[in-house]
Amino acid sequence: MRDGQPNKYSNMSNKRPPGEIKSSNQLSVKKPKLSSVTAPTNKKQASVKPEPKAEDDDDDHLPISQRIKKSPTSESKSSSIKKTTKVVSSSVKKVNKKSKKVMKNSKYSKSSKVPPSSGEGKKWNKLEHNGVIFPPPYKPHGIKMLYKGKPVDLTPEQEEVATMFAVMLDTDYMNKPRFKENFFGDWKKILGKNHVIQNLEDCDFTPIYEWHQSEKEKKKQMTTEEKKALKEEKLKQEEKYMWAWVDGKKEKVGNFRVEPPGLFRGRGEHPKMGKLKKRIRPCDITINIGKDAPIPECPVPGERWKEVRHDNTVTWLAFWNDPINPKEFKYVFLAASSTLKGLSDKEKYEKARLLKDYIQGIRAAYTKNFASKDPTKKQIAVATYLIDKLALRAGNEKDDDEADTVGCCTLKVENVEPVPPNILKFDFLGKDSIRYQNEVEVEAAVFKAIQQFRSGKEGSSDLFDLLDTSKLNAHLKELMPGLTAKVFRTYNASITLDDMLSRETKGGDVAEKVVVYQHANKEVAIICNHQRTVSKSHSAQMLRLNEKIEELKAVVEELKSDLSRVKKGKPPLKSKNADGKPKRNLNPESLEKKIAQTNAKIEKMERDKETKEDLKTVALGTSKINYLDPRITVAWCKRHEVPIEKIFNKSLLAKFTWAMDVDPSFRF
DNA sequence: CCCATATACTCAGAGTCATAATC
DNA sequence: CGATTATGACTCTGAGTATATGG
């Protein structure tokens, strides 16, 4: 469903001319003002050395938003993009899907357990916390599901898993055969070989589903006092887990609740969707605390932690192995508002700001390499261009047991279609299986390069066959200390906000300024392709808005008629209003006023309607939380006397405390 | 005050990327 | 020993649910 709708915000764009640079000199002059960016080889910078040609359409330093221009040919784009269902081929692909499944139990020789001591990557000196809290044990409900129409007795364990499935009866997963197969496979193991239940098709879970719905309803019907009491009870229980002591400071813990058991809800076409995610127990959990901190008490009587470590080179407080993918981990970290997280957040933005000093040189360098004879260099250049211009993600290789999604380095031939003379049509599933659709005008050299990368390959093979993220990042690191692909996303998002705010903030009242901010925020969200599904009620809501607008228009018409009649000394056509009250205010002045008021109301509603329609598939939150340097926002608020609370909610304010004292003149 | 809509917050899955281990 | 692959740890994501808001 999410990948269903075309992205109406496709940008046709860009006409940034090649070339155009400052002297190479300038590059090296800029000093990293960043302690955290461990500057490796400053010498390598040579490779960014731009050449002094210049063709001054100097928009190189500008944010993407400004570099993007509507292309003349941008009519009905998205509609026509379709996946050319191609014959899958074994093909060119370097057999690089890691042979993950093999990997015989090379038990991690934990000789390398920890490298702390050296004080080098030290994250903390003292760390104390209370561990994690577990979900309550399963409470059997005894509701019987049906098999071939007859009630079935299930053990609590069997019932628990059946209930996990029943609860999802009204989700889209029921339309996914993969989900059902995986579920049934895991459930079957618990039912046992000779159980009456032999296939899913003959199972009727509706009794359990309905029981669950009624439980939900019951909960909803509780009075506010009851809910409040329940909440306080929970809070009391959890209070001690909410906090940690880090280097003498009390800090909030993020996710101290262990994930409850359930069915795996993989996104997109995930091969493992529906598999049973089993209950985590204390013996699955590894705790990390300071050397002389007391060991957290295990909350389950009679059980104990798997292990207690003292590793101050990491920030996690606890972890367990992901039951779906046992070689992956689930961590408990401090909350976003903590000092530790704030620090690394700040470092992230400082690194992105540093890129500002290098970006011209980097763009010049990759532009030059569009035509490189070295094929790897050429691919790196084009990939970097896409990452910079379109804010694409790096695109790591994925295993076969994950959803099939791509990023820049993993783009397939079929994901990018060149449309002469110089348009590229992108269509692929990115992170979280969110569809990315875009048509972009690119420089001739890029267009040619893409055509070349595609030629002779099948649709399913890699566009950048000589590239992967580590090669790309290794190259980026030579251009700027600490530079990686994701920094471009942060940079382009933040510079766009900064730029749009400074260009578009005019006078006006606070509300108008907030609109300017939201507009910029939206632009960033579009660049980053932050989408959301259209709410179920969206169309109904639009309809209602339209109705209301029509109603108001009718009111205006009547008022106008009243006005003209009153002016002629005649009484209104109707002596009563729609609500049945007799009309008052029959003098022209008040009628005029009323007309103006109503028209203003209509205009406002029209605007609201537009915004709503505009934002129906755009999620603003993600960029605000992860990509926009809060100092831009805070400084802008200070300059324009906008209360910061208009922009940041409570948790954002807490997360961004480190940015609050920024100088009003701060610019990204 | 009630309802519905908007916003805030939680949740856990899905990425990125550095480094260690292995080939 | 250089290149891959595996491991580990951290950020980023939209959905779902709870709560606030406002008409």
Query: Mean of the pLDDT values across residues A243-247?
Result: 97
Position A655 scores a pLDDT of 97
Position A576 scores a pLDDT of 62
Clarify whether A209 is annotated catalytic: no
Q: Is the pLDDT of residue A454 over 50?
A: yes
Place of tokens 């104390």: A128
- Give percent of chain A above pLDDT 70: 80
Give the residue with greater pLDDT, A84 vs A335: A335
Q: Is A262 helix (H, G, I), strand (E, B) or coil?
A: strand
Give the residue whose CA sits closest to B6 at C1': A612
Give the residue with greater pLDDT, A263 vs A560: A263
Residue A580 pLDDT class (50, 70, 90 cuts): low
Give the residue with greater pLDDT, A583 vs A423: A423
> In Å, what is the separation between the CA of A499 and the C1' of C6?
42
Give the residue with greater pLDDT, A567 vs A278: A278
Q: Is the pLDDT of residue A585 over 80?
A: no
Q: For A58-90, what is each residue's pLDDT tens digit?
A: 444 555 444 443 333 333 333 333 333 333 333
In strand C, the nucleotides that come within 7 Å of a protein beta carbon are: 4-16, 19
As given in the structure block, the two tokens for residue A126 are: 């003292």
Type and span of the H or E element at A166: helix A156-166
- Contact status, residue A253 vs residue A335, Cβ threshold 8 Å: yes
Query: Mean of the pLDDT values across residues A331-350?
Result: 97
Q: Is the pLDDT of residue A627 over 50?
A: yes
Position A218 scores a pLDDT of 84
- Contact status, residue A649 vs residue A620, Cβ threshold 8 Å: no
Position A77 scores a pLDDT of 34
Range name among A144-148, A179-183, A209-213, A219-223 with the lowest pLDDT average: A219-223
Q: Is A395 helix (H, G, I), strand (E, B) or coil?
A: coil
Give the residue with greater pLDDT, A218 vs A454: A454
Q: Is this prediction's pTM over 0.75?
A: yes
Distance of alpha carbon A609 from alpha carbon A561, whole angstroms: 27
Query: Mean of the pLDDT values across residues A635-641?
Result: 96
Nucleotide of closest approach to A622 (CA, C1'): C13
Position A462 scores a pLDDT of 94
Query: Mean of the pLDDT values across residues A165-169?
Result: 96
Query: Mean of the pLDDT values across residues A638-652?
Result: 95
Query: Mean of the pLDDT values across residues A584-611?
Result: 75
Position A559 scores a pLDDT of 76
Query: Mean of the pLDDT values across residues A580-595?
Result: 70
Nucleotide of closest approach to A470 (CA, C1'): B17
> In Å, what is the separation between the CA of A526 and the C1' of C14?
15
Q: For A3-58, what is each residue's pLDDT tens digit?
A: 333 333 334 333 333 333 333 333 333 333 333 443 333 333 444 433 333 334 44
Q: Is A129 helix (H, G, I), strand (E, B) or coil?
A: strand
Q: Is the pLDDT of residue A572 over 80?
A: no
> In Å, what is the separation between the CA of A516 and the C1' of C23?
26
> In Å, what is the separation between the CA of A326 and the C1' of C10?
18
Range name among A216-225, A382-391, A568-577, A597-606 with the lowest pLDDT average: A568-577
A150-151, strands of its sheet edge to edge:
A150-151, A146-147, A203-204
Give the residue whose CA sits closest to C5 at C1': A98
Contacts of A481 (CB under 8 A, 6+ apart): A32, A37, A38, A39, A40, A42, A354
- Give percent of chain A above pLDDT 90: 65
> DSSP label at A414?
G
| Number of residues in chain A | 668
Position A549 scores a pLDDT of 80
Nucleotide of closest approach to A267 (CA, C1'): B13
Position A418 scores a pLDDT of 97
Q: Is the pLDDT of residue A518 over 50?
A: yes
Give the residue whose CA sits closest to B20 at C1': A112
Query: Mean of the pLDDT values across residues A462-478?
Result: 95
Give the residue with greater pLDDT, A223 vs A424: A424
In strand B, the nucleotides that come within 7 Å of a protein beta carbon are: 5-22
Nucleotide of closest approach to A489 (CA, C1'): C12
The whole-chain average pLDDT of chain A stands at: 83
Q: For A92-112, what is each residue's pLDDT tens digit?
A: 444 444 444 343 333 333 334
Position A98 scores a pLDDT of 46
Q: How many Cβ atoms sit within 10 Å of the Cβ of residue A457?
A: 18
> In Å, what is the separation between the CA of A305 and the C1' of B22?
31
Position A111 scores a pLDDT of 38
- Contact status, residue A441 vs residue A14, Cβ threshold 8 Å: yes
Q: For A343-367, what is each residue's pLDDT tens digit?
A: 999 999 999 999 999 999 999 999 9
Ramachandran assignment for A152, one of left (phi > 0), alpha (psi -120 to 50 degrees), beta (any other): beta
Place of tokens 């990759």: A366
Position A420 scores a pLDDT of 94
Give the residue whose CA sits closest to B9 at C1': A651
Give the residue with greater pLDDT, A10 vs A340: A340
Residue A424 pLDDT class (50, 70, 90 cuts): very high
Distance of alpha carbon A469 from alpha carbon A467, whole angstroms: 7
